[in-house]
Structure 1
Amino acid sequence: MPSKFSFKAHVKEYCSKCTFAGLHYIADETKHWIERFFWIVLVILSWYGSVLLIHAAWDAFVKSPISFGVETTYLDWETNLPAVAICDNKAKANKYKIYNAAAKIWPSNYSYDLDDVLEDIAYFRGQAYSLLKECLSENRNYLCPVSNYSYYASLIRSNCPQMLANCSYNNESFDCCEYFQLIETDIGHCFIINSIQTKKPRPYKMVNDITNKRGVLRFKVFTASMLTFYIFKVYTLGVDEVPNIATLISSTLKIILGRMYRREITLKNIENHPLVGETALDKRACRFYHENEDGLYPHYSYSACNVRCRKLAQLETCQCNDHFMPNTTDEERCNVTGMACLHNHFAHLTTLKPKWAQRPGLSCDCLPSCNETEINIVQEVNQAIRPKVSKEAHVEIALSYLPTERFKRNVVRGRLDLVGKSQITALLEVSFSTTRWTRHLHVSVGGTAGLFVGASLLSFVELIFFFTVRLVNNIWMERRKQDNNVHRIKSF
């Protein structure tokens, strides 16, 4: 006897009992055919609209899950003074130290042209005219150093006790060389305070809040040189940044002895929503400190990434690195022929450029840090010290005022927003900017399905259940019923 089970009847039963809106009107044979046709059109349009909005929500989730706004709830914020670094700087006035180093290295009758060679080595910035002239020409000086340049640089560069003294923060003194820590950079070793990039960070507490509104870091820069004119460089940077050959001029102070410098700054930090870290790297367009694969420093930053980019470019171009490049082995450091290669490719290896630019330079694929700090200069003072002191300079780095706004990176389309709820779910985020109010209304997938077709999570569970377990059960029950009927007929 053929089976009386009908799949059409099963579908009709599902439509009459399911929780999707409108389907039970279509399955109700007591309704007029015009009314049923009307509901067919409405259901089709509703599902079509739902698909369109779900596709739009998915597209927005994939392409733009992050918003960048400004936060002004500043009363409970704590603001730290930025990192401050000091480095030796190449200048004609540093000849005294070079003379002393040369006298220790070579006999008294050495050629004074070698002083310029030492200067090129100790303050190497990508070019070394004297080094190449004296060490690679046909009339090469036999005393000219051809390798081990880091040793010669160490004889000339200043140590912390030779340049820093009288450090204080808000008139509370502290040991300069305990907190100004050594950091290796691509411009030689420097000393930096409040940085997370040193080997063993030891920040000095420089916290400013509503009860302590101003912070002033003071220190004295000096030299034991007989000369009265000497130049250092002081950098004001984010705690994750490092001084490097491409550091902006706006972040740099050139220090001349006999003068007093005061720089007043303001800060804008970036706050990140906890879910930002779960967002794909290409969507948030920034890196966190720990996302530091093969980095030269303990933590990721934009400047640290650029230093690594330069290191790789040097290796690719000249098969060696200069003697200042961090994390470089003795075998990787350039000899005199390698230095000549770096010199010849100076424009390419020391300049950063965007990918589309045609000029020489490096196009480094470095993302900004998710935690970077914007430092703005409010005022700079540069005046002579009275009474005149020729062998020292006084430096002050001051927080001009507490920030009243900070940037906020929000996740406006996370996974939870994509899934949504069974009812209309919307997130209205209002973010204030200096030019306008921006409003973003994001309807979740679940809210879309609930709005257009009255669906919930259980509706889809019901759909799967009805056409798997329920379908098999109905077929089995129908066949069992037929078997019982056959058995009764035979018994009769």
Structure 2
Amino acid sequence: MNNRLCPLMSRVIEEYLKNSTLHGARFIVDKDASWIERMFWVICLVASWYASWLLIKASLSAFENNAISFVVESSFRDWNTNFPAIIVCESKNMDRIQEVAEQLWGADHDFTLEEVLSEIAFFRGESYHTVHECSGEEVTASCFYSNFSYYAELVRSSCLDSISNCEWNNKPFECCKYFHRMETELGICYAINSMQAGKHKMPKLNMYSNRNSGPGALKMELHTEATVFILGTEEVPTLVTPKTDFLVVGPYISFV
């Protein structure tokens, strides 16, 4: 019985190895290959099986002892989260423009000069009236060609005239003590919680939030038309700041 079984098992194993999809298995029973080649493929096949067994064993051990779990990260509740920088840039003030224009050119001045003054004080990338009135052959005598920052500051409102009734987490604070002057390409702005505004020794408001204080809330009233930028503490508003990063505030408009 054993004499019959051995040749049968040999043929079955040989047939399996010849048709196996295991790489190199067929070379073990290849009659045209030398014994050295056969031995090489035997060693390769045994080594690959052993390596596969080690990987499977390591995976089972990791599953049993170090299983991966997906949970909601909640450690952020222990952090102090910094409030973004709030930067207020006046965008329009026709009453102030008229007042300054009368101071510069008298009550009977050319009213087109008010548009020139507005473009200089609230520059937004275009200067149509300035170019039209103050260049070419017919130049208005009252145009000015230098010291633009001086005329811009004559028009733009101060911090005290722009911002009032400030509160941080329902606690009132002095607005212009913490809203510091910031020079930008949009003109003079006033910023709180910004690293770019004021001097390093100027007072800073503690605007951090955590699990104990709850979300931070800043409230303020603006007395002029303005663009309010909500940026990172290291950022500065520009002419190309995305619209998602600022609010346009006008008369009778409230944002929450």
Flag whether TM exceeds 0.5 (same fold): yes
Q: Is the 1:83–1:194 Cα contact (8 Å) retained in structure 2? A: yes
> How far off is 1:211 after superposition?
1.2
Q: Distance in 2 between matches of 1:260 and 1:125?
A: 24
1:80 partnered with 2:72: no
Q: Distance in 2 between matches of 1:158 and 1:260?
A: 20
> How far off is 1:156 after superposition?
0.6
SS of 2:75 mapped into structure 1: coil
SS of 1:177 mapped into structure 2: helix
> How far off is 1:72 after superposition?
5.2
Q: Is the 1:233–1:253 Cα contact (8 Å) retained in structure 2? A: yes
Correspondence for 1:117: 116
Q: Distance in 2 between matches of 1:186 and 1:71?
A: 41
Correspondence for 2:188: 189
Larger radius of gyration: 2
Q: Calculate the TM-score normalised by the size of structure 1.
A: 0.36
Paired residue type of 2:211: I
Paired residue type of 2:219: R
Unpaired stretches in structure 2, ≥5 consecutive residues: 1-35, 45-71
Paired residue type of 2:138: N
Q: Distance in 2 between matches of 1:76 and 1:218?
A: 25
Q: Distance in 2 between matches of 1:244 and 1:169?
A: 26
Assess, with a 3 A threshold, how the Cα gap between structure 1 residues 162 and 144 changes in structure 2: closer, same or farther: same
Correspondence for 1:156: 155
Correspondence for 2:215: 214
> How far off is 1:203 after superposition?
2.7
Q: Distance in 2 between matches of 1:260 and 1:207?
A: 24
Aligned residues: 193
SS of 1:155 mapped into structure 2: helix
Unpaired stretches in structure 1, ≥5 consecutive residues: 1-33, 43-69, 224-230, 263-492
Paired residue type of 1:140: V
Correspondence for 1:106: 105
Correspondence for 2:128: 129
Paired residue type of 1:238: G
Paired residue type of 2:175: C
1:243 partnered with 2:237: yes
> How far off is 1:71 after superposition?
6.4
Root mean square deviation, CA, Å: 2.6
Q: Is the 2:121–2:156 Cα contact (8 Å) retained in structure 1? A: yes
CA offset digits 1:374-408 (Å, max 9, x no partner): xxxxxxxxxxxxxxxxxxxxxxxxxxxxxxxxxxx
- Percent of residue pairs bearing the same amino acid type: 37
Q: Is the 2:125–2:239 Cα contact (8 Å) retained in structure 1? A: no
Q: Distance in 1 between matches of 2:77 and 2:105?
A: 63
Q: Is the 2:82–2:207 Cα contact (8 Å) retained in structure 1? A: yes
Assess, with a 3 A threshold, how the Cα gap between structure 1 residues 242 and 113 changes in structure 2: closer, same or farther: same
Q: Is the 1:195–1:203 Cα contact (8 Å) retained in structure 2? A: no
Paired residue type of 1:112: F
Q: Calculate the TM-score normalised by the size of structure 2.
A: 0.68
SS of 2:155 mapped into structure 1: coil
Q: Distance in 1 between matches of 2:94 and 2:197?
A: 30
Structure 1 segment 136-151 matched on structure 2, within 5 A:
136-151=135-150
CA offset digits 1:253-277 (Å, max 9, x no partner): 1112223211xxxxxxxxxxxxxxx
SS of 1:260 mapped into structure 2: coil
